[in-house]
Each structure stands twice: as structure tokens, then as C-alpha cells.
Amino acid sequence: MPSLTDIQRPWLESYDTEVPHNLDYSHGPLFEHLERSAVNSPDRIAIVFKNWRITYTQLKRFTDTMAANLISHGLEPGERVAIMLPNIPQTVISFWAVLKAGGVGVMTNPLYMENELVHQLGDSGARFLITLDHLWPKVDGLRDKLKIEKYFTTSIPDCLGFPLNRLYPFKARKMGLNLAVPHDNKNVFRLKPLWTRRGNAWSEPSGSGDDLALLQYTGGTTGQAKGAMLSHANLSANVTQCQAMLHAVGKNPEGERFIGLLPYFHVYGLTVCMTFPTSLGATLMPLPRFTPLEVLQTIHKLKPTIFPGAPSVYMALLQQKAAADYDLSSIEVCVSGSAPMPVDGHRRFNETTGAVIVEGYGLTEASPVTHFNPLNREQKVGSIGLPFPDTDARVVDMETGERDMGFNEPGELLIRGPQVMQGYWNRPEDTAKSLRDGWLHTGDIAVMDERGYFSIVDRKKDMILTGGYNVYPREIDEVLIAHPKIKEAVSVGIPHPSRGEIIKAYVVVKEGETLGRHELLKFCKQKLAGYKTPRQVEFRDDLPKTAVGKVLRRELVDEELKRKKASTA
């Protein structure tokens, strides 16, 4: 394989003039970013949640206190702490406190089913679990299957001011949400005293940036989830790279305000909605769930300046009939990831808000961001943009993974940089497959143009082989989404006895519209070659998605295989 000096980097010439080609990185713990913000912006609001807010001075004090109390509870350096919470202030406090205590965070999706929880908590070897009272019945039913020693629970009112903290329990009971947790102060404890009751003073644990900070589990859409080992240096480098590429962000004299809609338990939300804004001394505005109308109201009222999201989120807001009633002009930059942004959606959201939409790319194994479009130079719509400083990217043949492809020739995307993981937790064979000769093999099919802009064609595993032709589902998806009556759509390949696979489209029609199979296929035939036109169409009310809005193609294929198996049984 080529050495570092052999790599051609045309993207460097496409950088904004403000972006350096190489960066200086911290070799200390990730929480140094929080410590600096507490010194540089002590009185700036760090978190706003409903009628509750704290400054950076308070956030530092809370995290220091909680770290000291976790150590008093017996947490040793390197031990794992699972954090199973939605986007609430307690998630932010807990994450930083775990790292300050020398622990390793295991961010856990609160929506996980029993088998997913048992696998992740067991595989990670988590010793402590921090969760919400509403989720206790789910956790309690699994305690005999878990090796968790201590449970810490919090309640939404723990971070609400008067009178909402008094009114919330009535609302929760009306909604049927659990509030009762058997705190015995032996195995089950209240979380709030950990950050409010001072015990021993916190002192920074010894260690280095190479120490493990996070076990971030992959989505598991292609098998059992694996824990990507991300060090303090990996995560800190990615924060520094984000600061460099988004060089205008953080220059607001009143401070930036980040709307926290992407889930903090997902690595994309963790970096761009928590660690990156914390490094800027920005205000975090966590939202526990995505309700389009509530998001519009939040933007109108709290005036966030930065809106990290996913295309499905932006498109859902555009489709709200009441969208025109809300002022969205405070948004200056949207950071879009997790899936390609439809060209028409990009244009419409830009026209509605006036915001710059920066499309990028990343994956769990890279902390996660590796590419962004430039802020000032060409925003190449549909492209993931340019590799970060100190990040090398290659497009290689899909057979051997060794031959570099030419400009605009598709192949597998490989990544190398300081943000790339150490490997998979207790999975040496999987690590060896993904990390080869210093390169991370992403499994994504990409092309690079002459100026160094990369575009994702599709997932390597999603490519459809039909009648001897290679078909990339994304091309079909773009055509489907362009239909004026379609809200969401995705295409997959399903097994066929003679053609290998045939293309099936899953379509969600906009509310109030009617669309038939004949009309849809006629539309596709006008824009796609015959072999790329779907042979089957299924209309659905919704599509299965990950926590950040990426459609789960594999789940749809599995549904199809189960259906076929049942019909032949």
C-alpha cells in the first residue's frame, strides 16, 4: 500500500483559507475542553433545559463533585460506566463526571430491547449503570442477567426549576410513566446527590490521552453490535478538527447556542452536540425527543445559532404546515450527517432559514467525523466534502482493497487519521479486518473528484447485483424522493432465482396524497435505466430508522427474507 508521502491530497487546495493543513492536538484528557471553557467563559450559560439553566462554573463544579463521589463509590480507573439516558442535562453531567473519575463511558440507547441491553452491558463489562426512573422497569427485569454492581437513577425534575419540578410528577403519572424506584442505598442510588453533595475533593486521575474514554457500540445493523474503543486523544482530536473546519463557528461574541436534538448516546450527537460545543464554551440546548412542532417552538424561542441534524429531521420540519409561523432565522449553520441530503431538501431548507448547510461524513470508528464541506468555498450538494486536516482518505478497489481508483471511479473508502479508533473491544479478528496497515476500511463506496471532494455512492453491503449489473440504491432513492407525492423512500435488493436480486422500493406517501404503483413506476422509468427501475413497490406508513434517522435497509431485507421463508414453509 502507498506510504503517507505517496498519498495525493487534492483536497488541501480546496480548503477555506482559514483552515490549516495540520493541527496541534492536546495529549491530555478530553475533559480539558470543559476545564478551559470554565476558565475562559465562567459565567456563560452551559446548559438550558426548560426553565433550568447552569453556567460553565456550575457545570465544572457539578462534574467535579460527581467524579469524586463516583470514586468514593469504588469506581476504579478504566472501569466502564453505562449511561442510559435521553438528551437531558443529567446526560451531560454524567458523561463528563465519568471521564473525570477515570472511568470509561458506555453510551446506551434507552430504546434498546432486552437482548440489545444484555449484549451491550455484558460485553462492555459495565460496573455501574446511570439511567432514568422511567426506564427502571426495563432495567429491573434484567438485573439477574446483568453484572451491574450499582445503579444510579435520576428523574426529569432533578433538572427543572420551580414550578415545573413540582408539576412534572403529575404529568408523568397521567402519561403512565414510572416514577417509583426502590432506592436502597446499597445497590440502587439516587443520582442527584452525586453532583450536589460534596464529599472528597476531586483530583484529576493520572493517565494519558491514549487511555480509553468511550466504548461506543456500532448500530449492529449488519450483525451483533461491536464496541469501538475511542480514546481521549481520538475524541479530543475530532473536536479540534471540527473547530478548524467550522472556523466561523465560535466567533459569535454572545456565544454560540447548539440545539441538542441528535441523541447524545449516539457518537454523532455526542461529538457535534456535546463535546464540540463544550470546547467552544457554547450553550447546549438538549431536547429529549424529536417532535417537529416542539423543535420549531424551541428555535423560535431560544434562538439557537447552530443546528446539527440529519436530513430526515430537516425534511420533517419543512413538511410542517405551521413552519412559516416560526422564526428560524437565528440558525446560522446546519451540520448535516448520517445520510445524504436530498438536493431539493438542501435548497429548500437553505431558502427557509438562510443557514449554511454543511454536509459531512463520519462513522463510529472515527469518533465520528472525517469529512466536511467547506464553509466559504463551494458547498458541493450531495457530497460529503473534504477530509479533515491530518486525515487521509483513499478510494480503493472493492476486490483487494489495495489498488487506488482514479478520479470519479467508485471504490471502498479508506480513512487514516488521529480520530480513528484503537480497535473493537475484545474483538481482535474484527479489528484486524477493519484496521489494516493503519487504514480504516469503512465499507462505504465512494468517489473522489479532481478537487478532492468525496461523495458516498452507497454502502458496500447495500450494493444490488441484478441481472449482472451493479446498482447503487442511493441513485434510485434520489429519484424516488424527487417525486412530489413521496415523503420518504428507500430501495433494496431482494433475492431472485434468475436475476440474482431484484430492486424493491419502500415508499411513504405524504399526508393527504394518493400514489399508485403504476404512476410511481412510470415516473421511475422516465429517470432510470430499465435495469435500475424497481420491480416491486411496497407502500408503508413509516420506515425503520436508527436513532439519528438513517434508514435500516438491512431490516427491510430481513423482513423480506422472513416473509419468503414463511410462504414456502
Residue 223's pLDDT band, with cuts at 50, 70 and 90, is low
Average pLDDT (388-415) is 94
Q: What is the mean pLDDT of the chain?
A: 92
Res. 5: pLDDT tops 50: no
pLDDT digits (tens, 9 = 90+) for 423-472: 999 999 999 999 999 999 998 999 999 999 999 987 777 878 887 677 87
Average pLDDT estimate for 223-227: 82
Confidence of residue 219 (pLDDT cuts 50, 70, 90): low
Per-residue pLDDT, 288: 95
pLDDT at 1 over 60: no
pLDDT-based confidence at 4, cuts 50/70/90? very low
Among residues 131, 218, 295, 274, which one has the least CA distance to residue 550? Answer: 218
3-class secondary structure per residue, 124-170: HCCCEEEEEHHHHHHHHCCHHHCCCCEEEEECHHHHCCCCHHHHHHH
Q: What is the pLDDT of residues 205-217, one digit of tens each?
A: 888 899 999 999 9
pLDDT band at residue 337 using 50, 70 and 90 as cut-offs: confident
Percent of the residues in the chain that have a pLDDT greater than 70, as a whole number: 98
10 Å Cβ neighbour count for 176?
7
> What would the CATH number be for the domain defined by 463-568?
3.30.300.30
pLDDT at 559 over 70: yes
User: pLDDT at position 158, please?
Assistant: 98
Continuous segment of H or E residues that includes residue 357: strand 356-362
Kindly state the average pLDDT of the residues 374-383.
90
Measured between its terminal Cα atoms, the distance across the chain in Å is 49
CATH for 30-207? 3.40.50.980
Above 80 in pLDDT, residue 415?
A: yes
Query: What are the C-alpha distances in Å from 32 to residues 38, 90, 230, 368, 542?
Result: 10, 19, 16, 19, 42
> Where exactly are the structural domains of the chain?
30-207, 463-568
* Res 222: pLDDT: 44
**3-state SS string for 24-50:** CCCCCCCCHHHHHHHHHCCCCEEEEEC
Which pLDDT score is estimated for 3?
Answer: 41
Residue 193 has pLDDT above 70, yes or no: yes
Question: What is the band of 569 on the pLDDT scale with cuts at 50, 70, 90?
Answer: low
Which residues, in sequence order, are CB contacts of 438 under 8 Å at separation 6+?
416
Q: Is the pLDDT of residue 6 over 70?
A: no
pTM of the model as a whole: 0.86
Tell which residue, 354, 273, 344, 358, has the closest CA to residue 315. 344
